Structure 1
Amino acid sequence: MTFQYSRIADPLYVSENRVGAHSDHRWFASAAEARRGVSSFEQSLNGQWCFHYASTADESPAGFESPEFDVSLWHEIPVPAHIQMHGFDRPHYANTQYPWDGHDQIMPGQIPERFNPVASYVKRFTLDTPVGVGERVTVVFHGAESALAVWLNGHYIGYGTDSFTPSEFDLTDHLADGENVLAVQVFKWSAHSWIEDQDFYRFSGLFRDVVLYRQPVAHVRDVRVRATLSEDLSGAELAVRVDLTGGSAVVRLADGTQLKDLGDGTFVTWLDQPRLWSAEHPHLYEVLIEVRDPDGEIVEVVPQRVGVRRFALEDGVFKINGQRIVFKGVNRHDFGLNGRVVTREETEADVRTIKALGLNSVRTSHYPNNSYFYELCDEYGLYVIDEMNLESHGLWDRIRYHDAPDSEAVPGDRPEWLPALLDRARSMVERDKNHPCIVMWSCGNESYGGSNLAKVTEYFHEVDDRPVHYEGVAWDPRHPETTDVHSEMYTPAAKVEEYLRENREKPMILCEFAHAMGNSFGAVDRYIDLAYREPLFQGGFIWDFADQAIAMTDRFGQRFFGYGGDNGEAPHDGDFCGNGILFADHSPKPFTQEVTHVYRDIVTRIERDALTIENRYLFTNTSAFECVVTLSHEGEEIASEILDTDVSPGQVRQYPLPVTIPSGPGEYAVDVSYRLRAPQRWAEVGHEVAWDQAVFGSFVPSPSVPAAPEIVDGIHNIGVHGKNFTVLFSRLYGGMQSYRFGGGGPEHEILRGMPTPNFWHAPTSNERGWNAPSLDGQWLLASRYAVSERRPDQPFLETLEDSARVTYTYDLPTVPASQAALSYRVFGDGRVAVQLTVDPGDGLADAPECGVLLALDPELDQLTWYGEGPEESYSDRRLGARLGVYSAPVATQLTQYLRPQEAGNHTGVRWATVSDARGRGLRFEGSGMEFSALPWTPFEVENALHHTELPPVHRTIARPALMRRGVAGDDTWGSQTHPEFRLPADRQLIFEFSFIGINA
């Protein structure tokens, strides 16, 4: 038997000589070895391999599989790794488009001719232990993208596809005593690349572990566990089915209970009052399978953990252990700083983060993850939708956007694709079937519909009792039996509610929602509110967990995260890979504070004398958490009490407020915080799991000194003077040209440019997605090129009893024309009360923001504010921010989104100071204004494609604003900010705030 490269272009060529799929259990030589977790039956082949790269098959080394072939001049490459991350080929990011589109005129199943990298690997190894009589040795490639061929000692062993499930081959018959030579070729593109068109970086190579497994003469090939709960959950039958060769087995629980052998490989026992597995309480039973050879010697021990739980459609909704579930989920790629080469430690860190953020579920997008991801979800407690490796989005686009007939769908109804689908379904189910965390199987992603997918679901239902998910039925409803849940993507909450008014056949989830690209995640609370109002809507999964980006160095030696096109690849989809709730280094983005708050499981409504607690947990009493009630006066804590609560899951209870809110002037905040009493694997004691806040009273701005300032009405300038300050207004240049403040010392200039009306911010990813810049462009012109006409009454000076007011009027270069007036009322202590009045032209789109831009001395690099925080917030993303006093360096305020864009805003700001290290600067005050202080103007931010391209810092840019447009996030390709979070476009806008110089 030989390998023929031409066959990889055949969709029917799925595998050759590959060992059948089986459970991902491990086996050990003894119970002691099992306790240590290190198996003498496993030999890792990870490490350095000899490596040859060829851009096409014709350039690959003929005969390299021979043990005599000289590879001494080859490169070395680590395994596991993507070849693209080690200088061969290049990382290639594409979303829906096929990377070869526009390069090769090929049809589905055919492979690119111009460029199809072939990675040839050679590994020499000697077995740790000689093969015993009757033993077998296999090699498992846990991940190889997208297809591989394998030789041992010059003998062709086999071929496998499906990048994300194991390819296992029996090596026994060709093993040599002493050194062996394992040769592998990995092909970047095969026929099956057409159904691996996921939104991710396109890599290739051996990117998961490669392991030799020795199987003793008596061996458990497969384990299937099933716990069937009684109707009232008071008992469960635990059944363990063992596929055993060459011996006998005894199955016990960790407490010594021996399961009854039914004689057909099935072992059973009854559990009274079992401890149930759930995301809240992920209890696992330990099962030990002890295998003896025909002589009665123990040759193998298999530990298997079991979660006893029931997840099913009951009363028309999904329930876990009898309770209706709301999926508070996220989609997750296996992706980190090394691409899809992700270690167990990195995966565990992700799982800990997911739990700490308050999420309860994960959808594996859009392929099976490494086995240890499911083990960790079992242990930590997460509900998982396990998704088959399938996506043909680029071909589906032909149907959606180019009116292609349904018959062109792949896999659709085409018989040549069915074997590959069933193979992938089988590989996933057989490997992962024993993980209690998995509550649904998924047929894949964004591949339209058809009879083939219906047959995949039929297979799932034949072999397992878990429900099946597939979103594509929403687009191609010909086979509704393909999915047990109605699933959609990015449907606005109002549309979900509208759909469910008429369609009550199945529960509904959003398998993707809240597209978190760039500065995003606006108005997500609408979905969660609906999930608790409408029983059939059972939540959704945020897209997605972490940015996919490549750590790179620019031509000046600066490190940055690259996205599509940065590696010279084409076609590509730019920064569309930057849509995680975490950055590429898996640190949290600012809006994780919103994620945590809207997903919280304890909701508290706070009144002046009472608080009402709603417990949304399914199995946890609020008494498990310490409830801390804090009273603050304008950011300063004045009282704190611990409140003992006892609210059962799903219940609501009211308690007296344990702190007294003063009735005098000022603003008071009551915070109610729920914190872990006991440490968890994912967080320490004191970790906050939920909070709410209410504000009482009102903030009173600082009064101005009543003494009137001195006014100097000059030829070209108007000067306003007082003790320790000077303000100059220019008649020539149409604005405030100087603000000098001393405050008891020498006056120093604070401004580095004239304040101007500002209606622009650097477009967010969402705004670019719905072409907002083309609609907003008039407001960019208005911000940069407003005209203050030279005329005798410009500026207009008013001398008031306690102040001087100077007003400039501006003609804004919009079509139709708009007008603005900026007035400054200067008091005797140097306080300047500013009023911006804007009259938009009829028919103009709403402005991205309405405020004033002040360029300040760059030494003013410290921001402190009394408002909502601690992270940035926006009008449609402020529920996770709470009122307080916060400080941060100005340099940190431009959030490191993958592409620079509007960032660093703070809502509900009562006052803010921008100061230098000595405490000198400006104090701003307003009535719940929005405020940001950044090292760059919006125009500089917009011009940069990466953060390393931002110019050197020459100014601090303060932007107090009436409002900025909300960030949106229903999707990033058309959904606009909800109307209530946009500035009115049809009426006059008035914004008032003040500023005054400060000294330490």
Structure 2
Amino acid sequence: MTINTTVTPSLDWLSDTSVFAVNRVPAHSDHVYFESLEQAKVKKDMPWRQSLNGKWKFHYAQNPSARPADFYNASYDCSRWDSISVPAHMQLEGYGTPQYVNTMYPWDGIHDIRPPQVPMEDNAVGSYVRHFTVPKHMENMPLYISFQGVESAFYVWLNGQFVGYSEDSFTPAAFDLTSYLQSGENKLAVEVYQRSTGSWLEDQDFWRFSGIFRDVYLYTTPELHVFDLSVQARLDDSYSKGSLKAAMLFQETIPAGAKITGSLYDKHGSLVQEAEGLFQDQTAVVAFNVETPELWSAEDPNLYSLYLQVFNEEGQLVEVIPQTVGFRRFEMIDKVMCLNGKRVVFKGVNRHEFNARSGRVVTEEDMLWDIKTMKQHNINAVRTSHYPNQTRWYELCDEYGLYVIDEMNLESHGSWQKLGQVEPSWNVPGNLPEWQDIVMDRAVSMLERDKNHPSILIWSCGNESYAGEVFVNVANYFREKDPSRLVHYEGVFHAREYDEASDMESRMYAKVDDIIEYLENDPEKPFISCEYSHAMNNSLGGMYKYTNLENVYPMYQGGFIWDYMDQALLKKNRYGQEFLAYGGDFHDRPSDYIFCTNGIVFADRKLSPKMQEVKYLYQNIKLDIDDKKIVLHNENLFADTSAYELVLTVRREGESSYEQSIEQSVPAGQQAEYEIDIPASVLAEPGTYTIDASMRLREAALWADAGYEIAFGQYVWESKTKTPKVTGKLRVVEGDVNIGVHGDDFSVQFSKAAGSLTSLRYDGEELIETPPHPTFWRASTDNDNGYQQSYTAGIWLAASVARKCTDVALDIGTEQVDVTFTYTFSIAEKLQVQTIYSVFPDGAIRVKAVYQGAEGLPDLPTFALTFRTSAAYSNLDWFAQGPEENYADRNHGARLSRFQNTVQTNGTAYVRPQESGTRTGVRWLKLTNEKGSGIELDADNMPITCNASPHTALEIEQANHAYELPPVHYTVLTVSGKQMGVGGDDSWGAPVHPEHTLTSDGDHSFTFTIKRA
């Protein structure tokens, strides 16, 4: 690299598309290197690297005019400045404001600018200073500095001399410090700007931060140094023979007599082969031919270890490079993407790097948690939305086994899409030649750094930036530089004349019918959903419709859920209570508010209930089961099922009564049938039985402990007998206002004035705090708001709070007493609801709710009965679909089981309070206090849907954060036959699918029984 020591830094660079790298070391591979083979095999604490992470002196200015312009001078005293952590975002260290925006640029409505202009009066500047002394063992050697991530542009000085400049927030920038060093202490100065030309290319859907947010370190190189390493592990057409070529570019011309050797070891540490390199000028190649290599895949991520040893002309070892190698072949065969000859289906997620406390500053611990969580939930692929991640993430994907779409740092969403409308009149980069180089630089930086990771199958040209010749050129660069991978870019969907920029058809939030239409019309490219099933808070309904396509259409090759983790930041409210904050909570304007919370994992790294559905629908092993047999379908491409134990469990009313382990081993792509013979005695008693088939790890894996369940199937059947007639006497008192029904140790009271059941006492304890009433409204989810349900169906909210009881009928029978309430509603003359309470001598109350519809009304969010009891009744015991919440369109991953929780823990802590905690398929539900007394709700002929919450739907509706909810005084029980689904195709207009809605013009009814627990 040639260093221009005479260049004068200029603020004009910040708005100049032609200046994005000054004196920056060219992009190269992310390999590490050591002094000895022993060090290389340990592969930790690289001695030739010195971290500069830690506390730096820091000054913050709101704009360049307020910055200390000459702070980099050796004589400038920064000792009284504040200190800031590196790595960190300025905004999370108390400087400036975090801002969340989605598609629009963060200055929209504030500054009237167009690309490549930068709002300098609103361009925060961070001035960083760090003093260092060159470590003894690195003295008299060349010295470099590497910034792994700085947002969005920065200048570097050493000892008062200008070193260099760089843009691109998410790939490394390295500079040669050698000629600027002085003996003893050195002053390193870095000036970071929040806005630059690059900001027009970094309009991702995320929090807008700035600062040095990834590692910074010094490094040196030995006398003979491999500057760039390209490892190409290939397979022949039979996928049984491998060739490995390690191509090296040296930092200097290789002297005569120097030597390089390579040693290849398998995953067990056994030597496979050794070879000696061939040299030419500054390059060298070490090649191997490997018979029957063990192949790399997400199912079985076999990695080889390659050690390259460099010897100088005197035969002294000067450098050892350890490099993991995965033999795999990714290609298009007959318009289908194939790995090692097999059609691959991506069961993927989009992932932002994120931590609720530190933003995009993520630790290895965070990454390990993420990757283990993905593996545990059958996620096999990740798209690095929408920028290259830290190097360590790719190493973990190699090791644990995840397919990666590596996406370059490019999104210019706000330049072409305004309020959802496509309007590309000033789109960048498009066909603008002045943007070609800065965009290509990002592609080169990503590919050169990441090219040796077998987990990366696809290069992505970026995200949501429309289309144009710039993208075609980037795609062709990827193909020419690396023919072993395919190229992805979704934006060509909007401009088909640039279709060649993507090797696959990739769409955002395409509806299932649109995907089918594409697949059934002789397509030229396979289809992936680069973003689908928008998982915004209580969402992910209908995901099964997408996964159902996997085995129907060979050219449908899966998709990537949006997204993996909520982007919510921990903050304190005015009372010092910590909560997860979203856009707008920092007074950030403009903002896209709650739209940053789309994850299947919460920002504090707790699993959301949506993960239950993901895990099931992404299963590679399917278990079809009845009372006679289990059919095991192994949909893995390469791995058999021998790593798992098949366990059969029979439960009656949720209680285990029989368990059996079944020997099995099914090859990849095949199925097997296993007969089961359950002893008759196990099934003798009447009741509801479940047979669960479970696939569990036999031994601990990298990502889970032994016994962990990776797949399940369930069969349910009822063995009922007639319920004997209840004996006893009832005493009925019909007063002027109230109807009382009394029996042994219980009493029930109905009010003609209130138009409902008003009292239920078992053993003298009152269980009704507020009377049951019909309700048609649930607390709005974000998806409900997205398609404006409050506007289109808000009349059901009014009907839920205002009804008129038009008739009360009493029917005293010999075996029961029936009290019927008839309600009418102002929203429609013909709309009528009846609630029939049948009281039996044992104190049980059968409740039947009947809805008689009317034409011209919007669909119902729900038809339910809701009432409140004391908060002292807070212990829940369920026999229902669970254990996590589930809904009509999101209950495939739930199973009928018995589980316990509490009213306080039953709901889900979505960042914005909304409908949560509901269970479908409820057979019975017990609600008790600490003494064990309370009530039980039993389904009648059909399972019911239930919710138990500390708050009413209307209280939840009014809260934007959990801390805004009122103090808990009640337990709110809501019972329905069916609630509408939660939806999730997208969160800005996609309604719930018709089969998961409730029509308003039909009739609906449900029945359940209340009895003492």
Structure 2 length normalisation: TM-score?
0.96
Q: C-alpha displacement at 1:409, in angstroms?
A: 2.0
In the alignment of these two chains, the number of paired residues is 987
Q: In the aligned structure 1, how far is the partner of 2:133 from the partner of 2:765?
A: 76
Do the aligned residues in 2 keep the contact of 1:778 with 1:815 (CA within 8 Å)? Answer: no
SS in 1 for 2:497: coil
SS in 2 for 1:653: strand
Q: In the aligned structure 2, how far is the partner of 1:396 from the partner of 1:571?
A: 18
Do the aligned residues in 2 keep the contact of 1:104 with 1:114 (CA within 8 Å)? Answer: no
What aligned pairs does 1:242-641 form with structure 2 within 5 A after superposition? 242-246=248-252, 247=254, 248=258, 249-254=260-265, 255=271, 257-264=273-280, 265-337=284-356, 338-398=358-418, 401=421, 403-405=423-425, 408-465=426-483, 466-641=485-660
Counterpart of 1:900?
A: 913
SS in 1 for 2:136: coil
Counterpart of 2:734?
A: 713
Structure 1 length normalisation: TM-score?
0.97
Do the aligned residues in 2 keep the contact of 1:48 with 1:76 (CA within 8 Å)? Answer: yes
Counterpart of 2:879?
A: 866
Do the aligned residues in 2 keep the contact of 1:895 with 1:903 (CA within 8 Å)? Answer: yes
Alignment partner of 1:925 out of 935, 938, 945: 938
Compared with structure 1, are the counterparts of its residues 323 and 701 closer, same or farther at alpha carbon in structure 2 (3 Å cutoff)?
A: farther
Compared with structure 1, are the counterparts of its residues 453 and 841 closer, same or farther at alpha carbon in structure 2 (3 Å cutoff)?
A: same
Compared with structure 1, are the counterparts of its residues 262 and 704 closer, same or farther at alpha carbon in structure 2 (3 Å cutoff)?
A: farther
SS in 1 for 2:166: strand
Q: In the aligned structure 2, how far is the partner of 1:658 from the partner of 1:597?
A: 26
Counterpart of 1:836?
A: 849
Q: In the aligned structure 2, how far is the partner of 1:381 from the partner of 1:838?
A: 52
Counterpart of 1:826?
A: 839
Q: In the aligned structure 2, how far is the partner of 1:598 from the partner of 1:404?
A: 38
Compared with structure 1, are the counterparts of its residues 676 and 772 closer, same or farther at alpha carbon in structure 2 (3 Å cutoff)?
A: same
> 2:678 aligned with 1:678, yes or no?
no
Do the aligned residues in 1 keep the contact of 2:64 with 2:121 (CA within 8 Å)? Answer: no
Q: C-alpha displacement at 1:14, in angstroms?
A: 1.2
Compared with structure 1, are the counterparts of its residues 276 and 58 closer, same or farther at alpha carbon in structure 2 (3 Å cutoff)?
A: same
Higher mean C-alpha deviation, range 81-90 or range 64-73 = 64-73
Q: C-alpha displacement at 1:503, in angstroms?
A: 3.8
Do the aligned residues in 1 keep the contact of 2:98 with 2:208 (CA within 8 Å)? Answer: yes
Alignment partner of 2:129 out of 122, 144, 155: 122
Amino acid at match of 1:970: D
Amino acid at match of 2:979: R
Per-residue CA distance 1:163-201 (angstroms, 9 max, x = gap)? 000011100000111100000011101011011000000
Q: C-alpha displacement at 1:841, in angstroms?
A: 2.6
SS in 1 for 2:198: helix
Counterpart of 2:762?
A: 741
Q: In the aligned structure 2, how far is the partner of 1:44 from the partner of 1:840?
A: 70
Q: In the aligned structure 2, how far is the partner of 1:849 from the partner of 1:645?
A: 45
Counterpart of 1:778?
A: 795
Counterpart of 2:996?
A: 981
Q: C-alpha displacement at 1:66, in angstroms?
A: 0.7
Q: C-alpha displacement at 1:839, in angstroms?
A: 2.0
Compared with structure 1, are the counterparts of its residues 910 and 501 closer, same or farther at alpha carbon in structure 2 (3 Å cutoff)?
A: same
Amino acid at match of 1:140: S
Alignment partner of 1:969 out of 977, 984, 998: 984
Q: In the aligned structure 2, how far is the partner of 1:444 from the partner of 1:558?
A: 39
Q: In the aligned structure 1, how far is the partner of 2:156 from the partner of 2:829?
A: 70
Compared with structure 1, are the counterparts of its residues 703 and 866 closer, same or farther at alpha carbon in structure 2 (3 Å cutoff)?
A: farther
Amino acid at match of 1:903: S
Counterpart of 2:157?
A: 151
Higher mean C-alpha deviation, range 328-337 or range 693-702 = 693-702
Q: C-alpha displacement at 1:399, in angstroms?
A: 10
SS in 2 for 1:365: coil
Do the aligned residues in 1 keep the contact of 2:570 with 2:579 (CA within 8 Å)? Answer: yes
Counterpart of 2:89?
A: 82
Q: C-alpha displacement at 1:432, in angstroms?
A: 0.1
SS in 2 for 1:886: strand
What aligned pairs does 1:800-811 form with structure 2 within 5 A after superposition? 800-811=813-824
Alignment partner of 1:44 out of 47, 51, 55: 51
Counterpart of 1:183?
A: 189
Amino acid at match of 2:500: E
Amino acid at match of 2:278: L
What aligned pairs does 1:44-83 form with structure 2 within 5 A after superposition? 44-83=51-90
Per-residue CA distance 1:379-418 (angstroms, 9 max, x = gap)? 001000000000011112149626454xx32110011111
Q: C-alpha displacement at 1:477, in angstroms?
A: 0.9
SS in 2 for 1:622: coil
Amino acid at match of 2:232: R
Counterpart of 1:957?
A: 972
Higher mean C-alpha deviation, range 483-492 or range 248-257 = 248-257
SS in 1 for 2:430: coil
Amino acid at match of 2:755: G
Compared with structure 1, are the counterparts of its residues 815 and 191 closer, same or farther at alpha carbon in structure 2 (3 Å cutoff)?
A: farther
SS in 2 for 1:891: helix
Q: In the aligned structure 1, how far is the partner of 2:424 from the partner of 2:470?
A: 19
Compared with structure 1, are the counterparts of its residues 660 and 450 closer, same or farther at alpha carbon in structure 2 (3 Å cutoff)?
A: farther
Amino acid at match of 1:174: Y
Per-residue CA distance 1:534-558 (angstroms, 9 max, x = gap)? 0000000011111001101111121
Do the aligned residues in 2 keep the contact of 1:704 with 1:831 (CA within 8 Å)? Answer: no
Do the aligned residues in 2 keep the contact of 1:122 with 1:184 (CA within 8 Å)? Answer: yes
Do the aligned residues in 1 keep the contact of 2:945 with 2:975 (CA within 8 Å)? Answer: yes
Counterpart of 1:228?
A: 234
Counterpart of 1:168?
A: 174
Do the aligned residues in 1 keep the contact of 2:64 with 2:120 (CA within 8 Å)? Answer: no
Q: C-alpha displacement at 1:639, in angstroms?
A: 1.1
Q: C-alpha displacement at 1:5, in angstroms?
A: 0.9
Do the aligned residues in 1 keep the contact of 2:417 with 2:423 (CA within 8 Å)? Answer: no
Per-residue CA distance 1:17-59 (angstroms, 9 max, x = gap)? 1000000001112122223311110000000000000000000
SS in 2 for 1:727: strand
SS in 2 for 1:774: helix
Q: In the aligned structure 1, how far is the partner of 2:694 from the partner of 2:39?
A: 45
Q: In the aligned structure 1, how far is the partner of 2:59 from the partner of 2:77?
A: 12
Amino acid at match of 2:375: K
Compared with structure 1, are the counterparts of its residues 114 and 814 closer, same or farther at alpha carbon in structure 2 (3 Å cutoff)?
A: farther
Amino acid at match of 2:474: V
Counterpart of 2:929?
A: 916
Q: In the aligned structure 2, how far is the partner of 1:19 from the partner of 1:854?
A: 68
Q: C-alpha displacement at 1:365, in angstroms?
A: 0.2
Percent identity over the alignment is 43
Q: In the aligned structure 1, how far is the partner of 2:453 from the partner of 2:444?
A: 15
Amino acid at match of 2:506: S
SS in 1 for 2:121: coil
> Unmatched 5+ residue regions in structure 1?
none
Alignment partner of 1:216 out of 218, 222, 229: 222
Q: In the aligned structure 1, how far is the partner of 2:88 from the partner of 2:158?
A: 21
Amino acid at match of 1:615: N
Counterpart of 2:784?
A: 767
Amino acid at match of 1:629: L
Q: In the aligned structure 1, how far is the partner of 2:96 from the partner of 2:22?
A: 27
Counterpart of 1:205?
A: 211
> Unmatched 5+ residue regions in structure 2?
1-6, 266-270
Amino acid at match of 2:363: T
> 2:116 aligned with 1:109, yes or no?
yes
Counterpart of 1:689?
A: 710
Q: C-alpha displacement at 1:813, in angstroms?
A: 2.7
Q: C-alpha displacement at 1:758, in angstroms?
A: 1.2
Q: In the aligned structure 1, how far is the partner of 2:724 from the partner of 2:967?
A: 38
Compared with structure 1, are the counterparts of its residues 498 and 301 closer, same or farther at alpha carbon in structure 2 (3 Å cutoff)?
A: same
Q: C-alpha displacement at 1:130, in angstroms?
A: 5.7
